[in-house]
Chain A
Amino acid sequence: MLEARLQTGALLKKVLEAIKELITDANFDCSDNGIALQAMDNSHVALVALLLRHDGFEPYRCDRSLALGVNLVSLSKVLRCAGNDDIITLKADDTADVLSLTFENTDNDRISEYELKLMDIDSEHLGIPDTTYEAVVQMSSAEFARICKDLQVLSDSVQIDVTKEGVKFGAKGELGSGAVTLKQNGNVDKEEEATLIELQQNVSLNFSLKYLVNFTKATPLASRVSLSMSSEVPLLVEYKMEAGYIRYYLAPKIGEDN
């Protein structure tokens, strides 16, 4: 039995927007810790790991762990019926084959109820090793979104170079080439916009821009984003929310530059 009431329904709407283009179907794994989701995209190049911790809901109740297989496109369509300020309640019985959603508006004079059929999904869970990354860049999420969008004009892949001075996003294509460099700064006035770098070692990696642009759909969820990188391991792009996170992993492009 799951019952989770979310005060700001907009959060769930944003989360769905952030993952539905990467993944079509996925299991929401509900436990007493919260609601989690892990899934790879069809080509197994990118992975989404989502966690909505129990303390983000009021109340949150989940006596027994259960996996709710959902078609994300359908779920996002249903969520579009909810107003931005609505309170959303998710409910599911242990044996039921539907997920029920209730939307209440702030004046509490309009209540809508929907039920979404669940699916059986064979999910492949991946064990993600605890990695100490050689470079971790923290920056404005809007800035990251803009860079990915801008560079996509030139190429399908971006080379990210991190040094202690700053982080450089470079793209080369038939059209020409372009690069955006953000210098490491501790701008106190605009803490939200500062670019912070923790570096063990310089890194230089290539990634597909198509995926990165897809990740930036999570921008409305957090003002900051962190990019964690090590040579020849997947990039971790993390958006931290108040009670949870959304993490994207992206396998690098290997051997393109040699």
Chain B
Amino acid sequence: MPSSEDLRQAGSTRPARRAATMAALAIRNDAADTTTDDATDTTLKTTRKTKVLDRSEDAFAEIMSNRSKIKITKPQRKPSSTPTTNQPLLDDAIINSDLGGDSIPDMEDLVAEAAKVRISGEHSPDYHRFLTAASCQRIHDGLLAWYDINHRKLPWRRDYHSPVKEEDKVPGQRAYEVWVSEIMCQQTQVGTVIPYFNTWMAKWPTIATLAAADIEEVNKVWTGLGYYSRASRLHTGAQKVLKEFNGVLPSDPVLLEKEVPGVGRYTAGAIVSHAYNVPAELVDGNVIRVLSRLRAIGGDVKSPKVIDLHWRVAKDLLNSDRPGCFNQALMEMGAVVCTPQNPKCGECPVQSSCRAYAEVIDLRRSRKEAIGASKKREFVDDIDQDADEKCELCLPETETEGKEQGLVTQYPRKAIKKAPREEECAVSILERRTTSLETSETKSAFLLVKRPEKGLLAGMWEFPTVEQDQLQASHKISSLSTYKQRSESSCKYLVETLGLDWIKTCTDIQRRDLGSVQHLFSHIRKTYHVEWVLVQGQAADRETKAANSPKSKQGSTVPETEWLSTEKLATAAIPTGINKTFQLLQKFKEANASLTGDKRKGVGAVGTASSDGLGRDRKKVKKEIKKENDGGQATLSLFFTRAK
């Protein structure tokens, strides 16, 4: 009877690999110091060799291997990887063979590092860079080989398939073509640009002809491309280049950016690298996407520091042999393969250098195989001690999308804007009205409370306000409050927190719901429910004295309060939201005033904020309307004031 082990082995499509893995396993288990063991290395090499053979039919791989023969002299393995890295590599090999996985061996370094990052939850800034010549070389070979076969043929390209023409040898001619094409391609799809480019070049074949052209004519040819300032900048740029640079665009990107209108850092890099083969890095939207995925850059792509990092990585990667082709390859790859949605990772020529892809592989494996993950954890614990510098740019995982699903599209990342949260609070505008005996003049004062020194609107003055959390806590509700609940809370707040005990016993007091106003803070949408509390007559007189000497309760801190007159209130520094609540009261008073005036005389009452109508209760008014109009029909003069 064959053992189950034998059966599996027999059924395996790759007996050689299986055997190698088994051997490796055995070695690891037996010897304590397997790390430098020759056997381990042989195992790895065999695995690699089979891989290369598998893909040899591919034309792309052919070019790749040809290139490698000529150029690559350095070992492919990253020198930085310490001997210990061999261990997780082995683990991966085992996991892989068990799952029948088909990952590229070079990738394993990246997967191991991805696992390290996943488990430790942090990484060094170097994680985002290409620090060794070998890692750059791998990208160059992959991308250029891919580009030579797959690039789109565009009229302004002189590449593998579009040999250099005779007229291109005129100095600056290529630069002019690249310049026009780059400006046209801004904010515009390549397919739209092609006919425009051809017309343009037929009309103004050289920079001198363009400089001599009429701006109206230029705009006419541009018609349909939009963003016409681009056309006028090309025109004025051509004139300037003719005058100051003898009609030849400079080959120094810094000079180009500074001197030629409409040429930014990207366009400058594009012109010099495509036309003059000057090694200058460039970063556009496509490049950002490709680089952020290759190096798993998880920072907000809108932030200047992250943009900076992309430029630095682009510089790391620069190819000095064919800078123009390499830059175009990078962009082309971003446009065709490494697309924003549904990237074609299967077709990617630099998949084996892609950290985003490695992270995906790692995440999938960790889910399938808990053992592998735990093994890695041990290894990570040893290694992580010497990593002292940590990357600060990447956004925390909680703020990113796509991480959980394990997709490369989680890069590049944007900071998620949070929607403002909804909050409500109960504001009571406490008005105290006193009548002076000598002049019989009525004076109003309003109670203001100082907000705590910390938090929202710290230290500002406001009307007594019960915040949402207190409101909900005291009524054990989680939803929106009702007027009754708010009223109770406000009353409790005035009496207990502010120490205005007399409110409880006061008889000459009127309370009215004024409705609510909204104010939008940057992170909160706050609804102020406003209640007007009016105290009049003797009660008010008496309480002036009491209120001026607030009893400070032991233990609890009573917020600072102050009574302000209407005039002082108008000039006091009060937050806008609170000001809105006061306007609500003013509006209500105005409406009430014009209403009483109209009712009596029928004409001519202008709704000012006179205090005459204030004492009247709204309910009485309603009854009056009822008497005059059947069915409670109000008239418009209650709401609109006469204009003349």
Contacts and interface: CB of A to CB of B under 8 A. Distances in A.
A184 B546 CA distance: 54
B515 interface: yes
B635 A251 contact: yes
B632 interface: yes
A256 interface: yes
B635 A43 contact: yes
Interface stretch (B124-132, B345-353, B359-367, B636-644): B636-644
B224 interface: no
Contacts of A200: 518
B625 A127 contact: no
Interface in A5-34: none
A127 B631 CA distance: 26
Interface in A100-153: 124-129
Interface stretch (A44-52, A56-64, A161-169, A217-225): A44-52
Interface size class, chain B: 20 to 34
B633 interface: yes
A251 B634 contact: yes
A30 to B, nearest CB: 18
B626 interface: yes
B551 interface: no
A157 B630 CA distance: 11
A200 B639 CA distance: 21
Contacts of A127: 640-643
B640 A256 contact: no
Contacts of A255: 622, 625-626, 632
A251 B515 contact: no
A126 B622 contact: no
B633 A251 contact: yes
B516 interface: yes
A68 interface: no
A180 interface: no
Contacts of A156: 631
A252 B634 contact: yes
Contact of A251 (B518, B622, B638, B642): B638
Given A125-B642, A126-B643, A201-B516, A253 B635 contact: no
A234 interface: yes
A249 B638 CA distance: 13
A45 B634 CA distance: 7
Given A44-B636, A126-B636, A255-B622, A208 B631 contact: yes
Contacts of A254: 622, 625, 632, 634
Contact of A234 (B626, B629, B631, B639): B639
Interface size class, chain A: 20 to 34
Given A251-B638, A254-B622, A255-B626, A206 B632 contact: yes
A46 B453 CA distance: 51
A249 B636 contact: yes
A93 B584 CA distance: 47
A157 B633 CA distance: 10
B93 to A, nearest CB: 54
Given A200-B518, A201-B516, A254-B625, A47 B633 contact: no
A208 B636 CA distance: 13
A44 B643 contact: no
A40 B636 CA distance: 9
B642 A126 contact: yes
Contacts of A47: 636, 640
Given A231-B515, A253-B631, A45 B636 contact: yes
A233 interface: yes
A249 B518 CA distance: 25
A250 B644 CA distance: 21
A253 B628 CA distance: 12
B635 A44 contact: yes
Interface string B337-355: 0000000000000000000
Counting chain B CB atoms within 10 Å of each CB, the highest count among A206, A208, A254 belongs to A254
Contacts of A231: 515
B267 to A, nearest CB: 41
Contacts of A249: 636, 640
Interface in B135-158: none
B635 to A, nearest CB: 4
A125 B626 contact: no
Interface in A170-200: 200
Contacts of A256: 631-632
A46 B634 CA distance: 10
Nearest to A155: B631
Given A45-B629, A46-B636, 10 more contacts: A44-B637, A45-B635, A125-B644, A129-B639, A129-B640, A231-B515, A234-B639, A234-B640, A249-B636, A251-B634
Interface of A: 40, 43-47, 124-129, 156-157, 200-201, 206, 208, 231, 233-234, 249, 251-256
8 contacts: A43-B629, A46-B636, A125-B642, A127-B641, A128-B640, A251-B633, A252-B634, A253-B631
